Structure 1
Amino acid sequence: MVNAPAMPSFSGKVAVITGGASGIGRATSAWFARAGARVVIADRSREEGDALASRLSRDQGDALFIETDVTRPDSIEATVARTLREYGRIDCAVNNAGLSETPIDLTDATPEHWTRLMSVNLRGVFLSMQQEIRAMLGSGGAIVNVSSRTGLVGKPRHAIYTAGKHGVLGLTRSAAVDYARHGIRINAVCPGLVRTPFVERKFGDGLPALAAAMNPMGRIGEPEEIAECIAWLCSDAASFVTGVALPVDGGAVA
């Protein structure tokens, strides 16, 4: 019988997760807390963020909610500054905050549609990375950006969303090259269809059939499965890995 690998320890480490109060971000926040990290949940939803931070602090360790809007540079700067005041460092950052897109033909999309999606999905990652990297200079660290399988392929009627997620991978790869010499590793995960509250609301009773058709594994992914991959990329087990765009999609891209 093969024993399951031990969970990497993040004891004494500090992890910041944007969009950390729900979906993949929530699962990632909980994963880091279980592994001993001090977790900063950076999210716009105060109600969900406060509740999660309270639960994690009570049951698993040290968690702090900071209300954060990744479209505002001053908000991100304040979140990083408070994290450094409270904990003195940032070892891991997960840029997960994002918006989804209602299917629309490119010719029907408006400039406002573009601005809304890009302000969070691409500009928000750019702004977050700037502050996170500055905090890690001199000490090193690991950053994981949450792209999408749509960052690796085209998706019909999702041109703007697809462009943003491709852009995240460009930021990831270029920054990985620039900051490797500073001991900062920067990678991305590219999730496929994942069971989040948004996905369940969007597809309703049609979700099982959609999941069966989406990838060779014939099932939907769970948020915890994405969190596991994010944590591995942040761990010492991935110490020679940087600039990677890792599909976590049941084989959909393949």
Structure 2
Amino acid sequence: MRQLKIAWLFPDTLYLHGERGNILALQRIAAQKGLETFIERIDFETMEFRPLGYDIIFCPPGEIVSLPTVLEYLKPLKAEFEEFVRGGKILIATGTSIALWCSKVERTDGSCFEGMGLVDAVARENSAVYGDDLYFRCEYGGKQLEIIGNQIQMADFLSDSETSFGQLIYGYGNTGGDRHEGFLKENSIFTNTLGPMLVTNPWLTEQIIDTAAKSAGLLPSEETLDVSLETESFEAKKRFIQTKETRLTNCK
């Protein structure tokens, strides 16, 4: 049986915010859709990593100071990553690791370094860390979705040309100055959303699995998933966010 192959990039280096939960969510939803998964941890000792050999690549967030070391490993594979994204396969980068895929990363000390350049954007490190809920609408896999997570923002992501992943209802997003959340390149997602996002928003996870399966020539089950618990949690969080918005409005 053909498996969905998932690469998990540098889990011992890019390890912030419990984002390994996204890997578990992909595995769980795939199983509910009748699909087997093969998950491989990619680290600095992995000798024969070929991005095109995978259906999904997950890149969790890490400290900005560690990104140049990761880039030394990834940059020789830039052309293959570009083909991976251009061909409709799925790269998911969350939090600070968006910076890995940007054109340039600017540090608060005035230094900078080049990223992979898959996203035409500049990552600009912030002098302070911002944290709050994040609530937005997006379209993925042909479906309109609402997503709630949280955001621990160590850098802003500035672009004049890229398509945003979502439009903010509440939260900071890419810069705190507009309504854009993350970036979408073909089927690849670069998002500020933590949570882990794919645990708390299984409707997005299902769309990712269905999209990856279609690209791989697999047929996922069309049985409706039971996401009643996650839906109840989502509605509770939405009510809480709306309460915060009301409090903020009353304080103005």
Per the TM superposition, whether the score is higher than 0.5 is: no
Higher relative strand content: 2
- What is the TM-score of this pair, normalised by structure 2? 0.38
- What is the TM-score of this pair, normalised by structure 1? 0.38
